[in-house]
Amino acid sequence: MLCSTAAVAQQSKYASAVDFPIVLAGNVGELRTDAFHAGIDIKAAKGIGSPVFAIADGYVSRVGVSPWGYGNSIYVTHRDGAVSVYGHLDRFNKKIGDWVRNQQYAKKSFAVDLYPQAEQFPVKRGEQIAYLGNSGSSAGPHLHLEIRDPRTGFPQNIIAKGYYEVADEVKPTIKSIKLYEIEVVDGVEQHFLKHSSAPAPDLVFTLRGRGYLAYEVVDYKSGAGNTMGIYSLTQSVDGEQNFGFALDFVDYGKQRFMNTFVKYDDHRATKLDVIRAYVSPNNRLAIYNKVIDRGVLRATDMPLAVRTAIRDDGGNEQIVQFKIVRDTSTATRPKAFGEVVRWNSEFNYLIGNLSVNIPREALYDDDFIVCEEVSEGVYQIGSDKIPLHRAMTLVLAVPPHDKSDKMGFVNEKNGWIGGSYKDGRLTATTNRFGAFKTSLDTIAPRITAVDLAQKSAVLRFKITDNLSGIDKYHLTVNGKWELAEYDAKSNLLTHKIKRNQTPISYDIVLTVTDAKNNKSTFKRTVKW
């Protein structure tokens, strides 16, 4: 559910993109799956269909339509080279919408990525360009808004830079502080949780040798119940900063490094924002400032005095202080299992008929990766608690049979991966570790007519697939290709028929194909 917080647009830099007080459902830097959120999400205070306006003079430089991602989207290039992005739109204004529809028919495709000429759609500040919606991979009606830097193209932190003023008198909160010890096990650095505690005035942690800290954080805006991402964190030890970051921008090319910015297993399992004051060897994020020895702490005879400050994009700050003292005891660590995989080296391994290739820089740190056949035909490769930055490749030797082209890999936890079969080998790539097996997809997609109402002249179908997923669809009416809008969230296809003045017959043929080329066809004649 999308919640909100009141905001007011500044008039000096950019106009508001909506005609009501802005309320936020998400901010820049908020932690999502495998990524930092790149814009602000403005709640649909007036519902789907409320107007969306250009925030400054410029021209429409790109228009996208997709059942995924930003759905219906518009990109406006402004006079200074900055680009504003408007995502999850319900529809475009008539001029842009008519042009997009013509392009869709010319390409015979619902999904399009279009780049009009600069003079084709000039826009003025405050001019309506679209209508707010819920298209693409949206969790609810809202407007996704980005402002991309004219030099780098990176989405900027809109609130932190003051482009929009958000009502925010709530300090961010450090809910817990965690201390991880670093020990070398069989030549590989391993991280073990030593302490986890809520902040307290007299908090003291103990550390045997080397380690680092992590912070579970949460932020809210005034009058809102939904969480936001924090803007910055600065950690000092004995008065000297040894770690810091500030989320002034989001680099799309480095989004997946978010998985090492956080404590991955906590974030993946519980969605907690546990931010590590530690920089992995394979961490290319450019958000850090004054990091000493990757944020690693070393126990000394004298207590370490730690001071950590977190700030939100509204400038509110929380500070915690605590101490770390040396622990002279000896730890008993669990035995390490698996193959040693170095983050900066390629790794190849053979398990029976399955070969595994983990490319260089697929891991963030050196680690132990389990590679074994745990039961017949089920292969455990790594742990789902370990993130993969680059996809690994699985190749299974399989004798040819009459359904070879229907084979694919399945991750027992995350579902269908797929793959291609050629010359006795099934090959697939995946960016998740886990338990893998093969499966056959021989079942065609299911087509259900939801609405063929004469009154509305709307064709609406629900299309689903049991395994490999919908790959493509093709709709004809009276033998002519017709545009069907696809909402992947609800599995709905919709087409509006242009009605004749007198009732005529319409021969409807819809073919849906899944990723393994299984096809279903729906045929019906209606008279409207």
365-388 pLDDT, tens digit per residue, is 999 999 999 999 999 999 999 999
60 and 82 both lie in a single domain: yes
391-427 pLDDT, tens digit per residue, is 999 999 999 999 999 999 999 999 999 999 999 999 9
What's the whole-number mean pLDDT along residues 298-324? 97
44-85 pLDDT, tens digit per residue, is 999 999 999 999 999 999 999 999 999 999 999 999 999 999
Final residue belonging to a domain, choices 166, 196, 215: 166
> What are the DSSP calls for 379-442, one per residue?
EEES-TTS--SS-EEEEEE----TTGGGEEEEETTTEEEE-EEETTEEEEEESS-EEEEEEE--
Would you state the pLDDT for residue 68?
A: 96
Distance between CA atoms of residues 18 and 24, nearest Å: 12
* Percentage above 90 pLDDT, the chain: 87
Confidence of residue 457 (pLDDT cuts 50, 70, 90): confident
Distance between CA atoms of residues 103 and 462, nearest Å: 25
Question: Which long-range contacts does 349-356 make (Cβ < 8 Å, 24+ apart)?
Answer: 351/379, 353/396, 353/397, 353/398, 354/379, 354/394, 354/395, 354/396, 354/397, 355/394, 355/395, 355/396, 356/381, 356/392, 356/393, 356/394
- Compute the half-sphere exposure of residue 484: CA atoms within 13 Å on the CB side of its CA: 25
Cα 184 to Cα 191, 361, 477, distances in angstroms: 9, 20, 67
Q: What is the CA radius of gyration of the chain?
A: 27
For 252, the domain range is: 173-326
In a domain, 333, yes or no: no
179 and 162 both lie in a single domain: no
Final residue belonging to a domain, choices 142, 166, 190: 166
The CATH number of residue 107's host domain is 2.70.70.10
Structure tokens at 141: 């009606």
Would you state the pLDDT for residue 3?
A: 42
Query: Is pLDDT above 90 for 5?
Result: no
* Percentage above 70 pLDDT, the chain: 96
Cα 425 to Cα 87, 354, 422, distances in angstroms: 41, 10, 5
> Are 214 and 233 within 8 A, CB to CB?
no
Final residue belonging to a domain, choices 393, 417, 440: 440
Distance between CA atoms of residues 77 and 139, nearest Å: 27
159 and 207 both lie in a single domain: no
Distance between CA atoms of residues 485 and 487, nearest Å: 7
306 and 383 both lie in a single domain: no
Q: Which of 189, 158, 194 is nearest to 27 (CA)?
A: 158
295 and 184 both lie in a single domain: yes
DSSP type of residue 172: P
> Are 160 and 313 within 8 A, CB to CB?
yes
206 and 151 both lie in a single domain: no
User: Whole-model pTM?
Assistant: 0.93
What's the whole-number mean pLDDT along residues 136-155? 97
Structure tokens at 183: 């020990």
Pairing, β 232-237 against β 304-311? antiparallel
Q: Which helix (H) or strand (E) holds 262?
A: none
What's the whole-number mean pLDDT along residues 163-183? 93
In a domain, 208, yes or no: yes
Distance between CA atoms of residues 161 and 215, nearest Å: 25
Strand order, beta sheet including 128-131: 51-53, 128-131, 91-92
The CATH number of residue 463's host domain is 2.60.40.1220
